[in-house]
Amino acid sequence: MIGRPDSFLIDGAAGAIECVLELPDGTPRGVAVVAHPHPLMGGTMDNKVVHTLVRAHAQAGWAAVRFNFRGVGRSAGEHDGGLAETDDLLTVLNHHLGLPELAGRPWALAGFSFGGFVAARAAEAVASTHPPSSLVLVGPATSRFDVPPVPPHLASACVIHGEHDDVVPLSAVLDWARPQSMPVTVVPGVGHFFHGQLPLLRQLVLRHLMAAQAWPPAASPAST
């Protein structure tokens, strides 16, 4: 297990949901929820890619929360193929947006592999009423699940994939991205779990987040 703060439990539809919250230096700009890979294949919130996504968001100023899907760790319930897991994610999000220090602030989503599928479903579910400020999908499981397209209401999205991903072929992600004209950042020579390239992954996500936070640029004095 990677070193992290102690977990805590919140109430979900199937019972307890186990969460970990990591705070940035200073006042959080908002809350980011990070979803982990497939529970039936050993995926948990302590996955190294999830840890990397959390650290990138915290470094960019977000309060970053990860959680165990139902049936994993101390989270109650049973695996539901991504359907009820989407409800788990939205429950975690709404819980944290209800905290006084985070109420009314922006929110963001990120997910790895199966977690990318769930994060995309969650973004789609609320896009027309309360879209996230950012969506980061790393190795999204487009060859294994019906990953929805990125919602047009979304302010900013980032898709990152390994060139030699042996779990989700790069071609499957490109086939998913092509109809949307969605750019995909390809990391050369890297497999599904980004072994040896997690610092690079963190930098890519951090670069995306900082660019998204700087847009739109402030008006210059000459234009005001």
Contact 206, 56 (CB under 8 A): yes
In a domain, 58, yes or no: yes
| Residues of the domain holding 59 | 8-223
Residue 3 lies in a domain: no
CATH number for position 119: 3.40.50.1820
Decide if 20 is inside a domain: yes
At 46-86, the pLDDT tens digits run 999 999 999 999 999 999 999 999 999 999 999 999 999 99
* Average confidence (pLDDT) over 110-135: 95
Q: Quickly tell me which residue has 């998204």 as its tokens.
A: 212
Tokens of residue 31, six digits: 């809350």
Residue 174 located in a structural domain: yes
Q: Is residue 152 part of a domain?
A: yes
Domain count, the chain: 1
In a domain, 1, yes or no: no
> How far, in Å, CA of 39 to CA of 24, rounded?
28
Is 2 within the bounds of a domain? Answer: no
- Rounded to two decimals, the pTM is 0.94
Contacts of 151 (CB under 8 A, 6+ apart): 123, 124, 127, 128, 131
With respect to residue 32, please indicate whether it lies within any of the assigned structural domains: yes
Rounded CA gap, 46 and 153, in Å?
31
